[in-house]
């Protein structure tokens, strides 16, 4: 589902060049969950941003299903992001002016893939039933994160990307949210790549890869 070959990315400023990714190769199959680990600054977020098409690589290729995203321009990458990717970041990025119900449905409506039965199922599984009319600022961190996961899965994406999704949550809540996400990932059969510093959470996923000195080991 996700196939990355020889991916390179260097950040340059007047003073220095930082080669963050120096030839990353990795693969995530449909239905597989993979933890992306590595020290702070090792390039995990950089890699997720490139996969999501939010930034451009210097070299190498990224394929999502049958599409080579590294060959696309900004507009097409945005369309892939909208239609095929679920994204969950540490800052939940919920839309403050929309209720929980509308936040959940936002991406799937824009993508023309809204499915109210599936949304109701997500609401039930994520325990959001009595929060639907609330606004994000009226939710706890764990509740906001569950909404963010629901929104990401509402389009039934073939690939779910998460960057430290539970970094702001206490251990018990982080475990709970991760387990719900894993359960939903299994049910939709999507591929799941999650950057995390936590060995405890990484162990809950099918497999672990590590970024170090710009390479995956």
Ligand X SMILES: Nc1ncnc2c1ncn2[C@@H]1O[C@H](COP(=O)(O)OP(=O)(O)OP(=O)(O)O)[C@@H](O)[C@H]1O
Sheet with 67-68, strands from edge to edge, namely: 17-28, 2-12, 59-64, 67-68
Asked if 198 interacts with ligand X (CB under 6 A), we say no
Does position 45 interact with ligand X (CB under 6 A)? The reply is yes
The nearest distance, CB 201 to Mg ion, in angstroms, is 15
Of the candidate spans 33-41, 76-84, 102-110, 120-128, the one that interacts with ligand X by CB under 6 A turns out to be: 33-41
- Work out whether 40 is an interface residue with ligand X (CB under 6 A): yes
Report the C-alpha gap between 211 and 217 in whole angstroms.
6
Considering beta carbons, is residue 45 or 178 the nearer one to Mg ion? Answer: 45
How many beta carbons lie within 10 A of that of residue 97, not counting itself? 9
Select the span of 20-28, 45-53, 111-119, 209-217 touching Mg ion (CB under 5 A). 45-53
Binding status of residue 46 toward ligand X by CB under 6 A: yes
Give the number of residues in contact with ligand X, rule: CB under 6 A: 11
Query: Coil, strand or helix: which one is 41?
Result: coil
Q: Pick from 38, 136, 150, 158: which binds ligand X (CB under 6 A)?
A: 38
CB of 42 to ligand X, least distance (A): 4
The verdict on 42 binding ligand X (CB under 6 A) reads yes
Strands 85-88 and 159-163: parallel
Q: Does 44 bind ligand X (CB under 6 A)?
A: yes
Residue in 114, 139, 112, 137 with CA at minimum distance from that of residue 126: 139
Residue length of the chain: 217
Q: Which of 37, 45, 103, 178 lies at the binding interface for Mg ion (CB under 5 A)?
A: 45
Could you tell me if 157 and 85 are in contact, meaning their C-beta atoms sit under 8 angstroms apart? yes
Instruction: Determine if 212 is a binding residue for ligand X (CB under 6 A).
Output: no
DSSP string, 58-82: SEEEEEETTEEGGGS-HHHHHHHHH
Residue 41 vs 189, nearer CB to ligand X: 41
Binding site partner of 41, from Mg ion, ligand X, none, Cβ cut-off 5-8 A by kind:
ligand X
CA distance 12 to 82: 29
- Give the span between the Cα atoms of 165 and 172, in whole angstroms: 14
From the CB of 25, what's the least distance to ligand X, in Å?
A: 17
Q: Is 62 in the site for ligand X (CB under 6 A)?
A: no
Residues that bind Mg ion (CB under 5 A): 44-45
């Amino acid at each position: 589902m996700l196939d990355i070959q020889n991916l390179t990315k260097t950040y340059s400023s007047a003073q220095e060049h930082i080669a963050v990714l120096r030839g990353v190769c990795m693969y995530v199959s449909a239905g597989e969950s993979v933890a992306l680990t590595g020290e702070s600054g090792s390039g995990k977020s950089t890699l997720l941003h490139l996969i999501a098409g939010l930034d451009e690589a210097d070299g190498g290729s990224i394929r999502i299903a049958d599409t080579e995203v590294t060959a696309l321009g900004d507009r097409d990458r945005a369309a892939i992001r909208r239609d095929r990717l679920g994204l969950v970041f540490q800052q939940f990025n919920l839309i403050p002016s929309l209720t929980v119900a509308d936040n959940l449905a936002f991406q799937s409506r824009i993508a023309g893939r809204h499915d109210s039965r599936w949304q109701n199922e997500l609401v039930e599984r994520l325990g959001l039933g009595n929060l639907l009319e609330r606004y994000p600022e009226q939710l706890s961190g764990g509740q906001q994160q569950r909404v963010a996961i629901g929104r990401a899965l509402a389009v039934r994406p073939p690939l779910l990307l998460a960057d430290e999704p539970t970094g702001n949550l206490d251990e018990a809540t982080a475990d709970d949210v991760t387990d719900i996400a894993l359960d939903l990932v299994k049910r939709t059969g999507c591929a799941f790549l999650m950057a995390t510093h936590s060995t405890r959470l990484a162990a809950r996923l099918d497999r672990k890869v590590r970024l170090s000195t710009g390479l995956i080991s």
